[in-house]
């Protein structure tokens, strides 16, 4: 079964009941049967987004659940992957893609993933399907 790529958008909407995408994400999460792939960089973005909020305390618990889930793969930080993300970032000055987006696109290509749990239109620009658009 081909996994979904899980983006920052998905995790933040899942963790924040006041997020406008929360209900949509909760519905998708409840029916999710396919495995997830994400990256250390996406998880860094999630932690950074929660840093100045009362939800900061949720990050450790969320991370532990994700790490314990046998259906979840967290692609770790590596110098090689970082360099390939920077190459894509440099190659596309016409796009407003973040470096984390570029790293996600590289991982999706490497893992043969076409669908991302995100509402970020950058994934669509890069040729992937944003499942939460």
Q: What is the pLDDT of residues 5-30, one digit of tens each?
A: 999 999 999 999 999 999 999 999 99
| CATH classification of the domain holding 25 | 3.40.50.1010
Confidence of residue 133 (pLDDT cuts 50, 70, 90): confident
What residue numbers bound the domain in which 22 lies?
Answer: 4-130
How many domains does the chain fold into?
A: 1
Instruction: State the SS3 of the chain.
Output: CCCEEECHHHHHHHHCCCCCCHHHHHHHHHHCCCCEEEEHHHHHHHHHHHCCCHHHHHHHHHHHHHHHCCCEEEECCCHHHHHHHHHHHHHCCCCCCCHHHHHHHHHHHHCCCCEEECCCHHHHHCCCEECCC
């Amino acid at each position: 079964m081909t996994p979904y790529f899980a983006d920052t958008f998905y995790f933040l909407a899942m963790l924040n009941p006041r997020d406008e995408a929360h209900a949509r994400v909760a519905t998708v999460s409840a029916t999710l049967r396919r495995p997830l792939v994400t990256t250390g960089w996406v998880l860094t973005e999630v932690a950074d987004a929660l840093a100045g909020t009362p939800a900061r305390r949720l990050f450790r618990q969320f991370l532990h659940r994700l790490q314990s889930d046998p259906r979840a793969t967290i692609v770790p930080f590596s110098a090689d992957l970082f360099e390939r993300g920077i190459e894509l970032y440099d190659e596309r000055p016409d796009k407003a893609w973040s470096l984390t987006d570029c790293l996600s696109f590289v991982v999706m290509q490497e893992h043969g993933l076409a669908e991302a749990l995100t509402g970020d239109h950058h994934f669509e620009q890069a040729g992937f399907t944003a499942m939460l658009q």
